[in-house]
Amino acid sequence: MICVPPIGWDIFLAMKYRQLTKEQFEPLSFEFAQFLATQKIDVDTWKAIKEMQPRLAEEKMNLFSDLVWEDVLNKVTYLDHFSSNVVNLFKTEKEQISRIVIQVKKDIDLLTQKGYEWLLKNPKDHTIEFFKGSKTYSNERHSEIFDLIEKGGQVSKGELFEYFNRLTS
């Protein structure tokens, strides 16, 4: 017999981040099954919840998504964001975030392999401007990092940040 919580039993919490996409959920199917198991929800019960209580199913997926995001954001130290002529490099520390902005005032596209390689080979070119700064977080650390990721920031190992930090120090 499948036991589904009664309607009205569910308490909906506001998400802190956003629900993972289908593509993000797929490689985490085992972890999601474990998450459900900690709540005594097996496969058959999960199927029943999805069918009979879709809002509760959404809530479970939202809660799992927030847990995944928290884990990811705990581990982030560096983020890189590229546009055609500007690179933003971030180092996220406990109390502050540091940023290096690299602006290329030349007809070159940093989003291409050729443009990226040009930047690495010509970091002292007169058409490149650097800006550096640090600030304490305006909001909670994880929220600011999440916002940068949502705006296109890519988690990195920090090689570019450290390289350009040494170059501009």
Q: Is the pLDDT of residue 10 over 80?
A: no
Beta strands 86-92 and 154-156 are unpaired
At 36-45, the pLDDT tens digits run 999 899 999 9
Query: Mean pLDDT over residues 45-68, rounded?
Result: 93
Residue with tokens 């998400």: 15
Q: What pLDDT, on the 0 to 100 scale, is given for residue 9?
A: 46
Q: What pLDDT, on the 0 to 100 scale, is given for residue 13?
A: 63
Query: Mean pLDDT over residues 92-114, rounded?
Result: 96
Query: DSSP code of 43?
Result: H
At 108-162, the pLDDT tens digits run 999 999 999 999 999 999 999 999 999 999 989 999 999 999 999 999 999 999 9
Burial of 138 (0-12, 13-18, 19+ CB in 10 A): exposed
pTM beyond 0.75: the answer is yes
Of 13, 15, 12, the C-alpha closest to 143 is 15
Burial of 92 (0-12, 13-18, 19+ CB in 10 A): buried
